[in-house]
Each structure stands twice: as C-alpha cells, then as structure tokens.
Amino acid sequence: MKASILAKLDNLDERYQEVAALLSDSETISDQNRFRELSKEYAELEPVVKAYVDYRDVINKLQEAKLLLKDSDPDMRAMAQDELAEAESKMEPLELDLQRLLLPKDPNDEKNVFLEIRAGTGGDEAAIFSGDLFRMYSRFAEGDQAGSKVVKAIVPLSEMFGYVTSLRTLSSGRATSTMEFSHYAETPKNISEEVISATVG
C-alpha cells in the first residue's frame, strides 16, 4: 500500500482516538450539539480504523512469519510457511476494503429513502413474490438498525401473504448509500415484472 495512504490512515486513527476522548469529556457531554457532531464523526471513522487495525495485524503476522522461515527447526519453518500463506491471502481483501472506505462519500448517502415494491401482472404469484421481497428488505433494514417503518402496504389480491404495492421509508445515517443500487426486474415463471425503486428524500 502507498505511503501516502498509510499516512492518511495513521491520521484518521489519531483523530479517532481524539474523538473518543472528547466524547467522554464532561464539557462535550453537556453540549448536545457538539456531542452529536462528534458521535457522527466517530461512527464514520470507526469502520475505517477497525479495518486498518486488522490490516496492521496482518502486516505484523507477515513479518513474524518471514522471521520464522529462517529458523533452523524444520517444523517451525513449516508452521511459518502456513502462517505466511494465510496472512498473504488476507492482505489483498483488506487493502481493497481500506481503499473502498477511503473513497469520497456521496452527499446524498445520509439522506432517507422511500423503497417501493410493486407486483407485476402475475396475479397471486406476483403478489406473493412482492411480499417475499418486502419482508427481505424489511429484515435487512431492521437488522441494519436503519430505523425503517412501513408507510403503506396494500394486500387486495392474495390471502397468501402477498403484496400488490408496498412503500417503506428508511431513515438512517447510510440509508441512501445502502439502498441506492437496489433494483430488481426479472420474469420468474409467469411473473412479468417486479419493481424496486429507491428515491432520495
């Protein structure tokens, strides 16, 4: 990884530690606006710093394994070879993850979204499929602590847990960034169309 990227990660790690200290300070706690801003910054820095900690851990294991390869004991060298292979296999995914986390953020990432799921012309089967999609996204949103809620759900076609139209709001710090690429349109069996659309609110 480039030295400039590592330097940036070191700076973010330092800032993360600084923000953590500020959040525990009594003056910060008494100022709710300041506390809210720092909490948001802390949440944004946390995944980057955690990935960087994992990266540094792998680097250390690589260095230790390379030293063990020089050991006179063949068993130790064999163990070092296994550890080296394991660490190397983790290196590239971690580097890619860090590069992704350092990408500039879309200004719309923190906005809320409306998620609409509509059944096509497949009758009951289309409504059932829409219901499955609706429950899938509902569980995802709830598990991601997105603070989602149902604002509209219509079920006139089927008694088998189907939905003709459902509309859901997602409210979280990363609702748009999570859902902006969600799109589904295919024709399984006799289902002509299922539409999922996310609109920035």
| Residue 55: predicted pLDDT | 95
Q: What is the pLDDT of residues 2-23, one digit of tens each?
A: 888 899 999 999 999 999 999 9
Q: Find how far residue 140's CA is from the centre of its chain.
A: 11
Q: Look at residue 144 in the predicted model and tell me its pLDDT.
A: 56
| Beta strand spans in the chain (E) | 113-119, 149-154, 165-170, 194-200
pLDDT at 193 over 90: no
Q: Are residues 8 and 96 in the same domain?
A: yes
Question: What pLDDT is attached to residue 53?
Answer: 95
- CB-based contact 160:124 (threshold 8 Å): yes
Stated pTM of the model: 0.59
Structural domain range at position 133: 113-200
Residue 25: inside a domain: yes
120 and 178 in one domain? yes
In angstroms, the CA 80 to CA 65 distance is: 5
Which whole-number Å values give the CA distances from 155 to 42, 99, 122, 159, 167, in the listed order? 42, 44, 14, 8, 12
Whether pLDDT at 165 is above 50:
no
Report, as an integer, the average pLDDT of 56-77.
Answer: 90
Q: Exposed, middle or buried, 22 (CB in 10 Å: 0-12/13-18/19+)?
A: middle
Please tell me the predicted confidence (pLDDT) of residue 12: 95
What is the 3 state secondary structure string of 108-127?
A: CCCCCEEEEEEECCCHHHHH
Averaged confidence pLDDT in the chain: 74
> What confidence score (pLDDT) does residue 129 get?
79
Walk across the sheet containing 194-200 and list its strands: 149-154, 165-170, 113-119, 194-200
| Residue 155 amino acid letter | V
Contacts of 123 (CB under 8 A, 6+ apart): 157, 190
pLDDT of residue 197: 45
Q: Same structural domain for residues 65 and 133?
A: no
Number of structural domains found in the chain: 2
pLDDT tens digits, one per residue of 91-146: 989 999 998 899 887 777 666 666 667 777 767 777 777 778 777 777 776 665 54
Please report, for the domain that includes residue 189, its CATH number: 3.30.70.1660
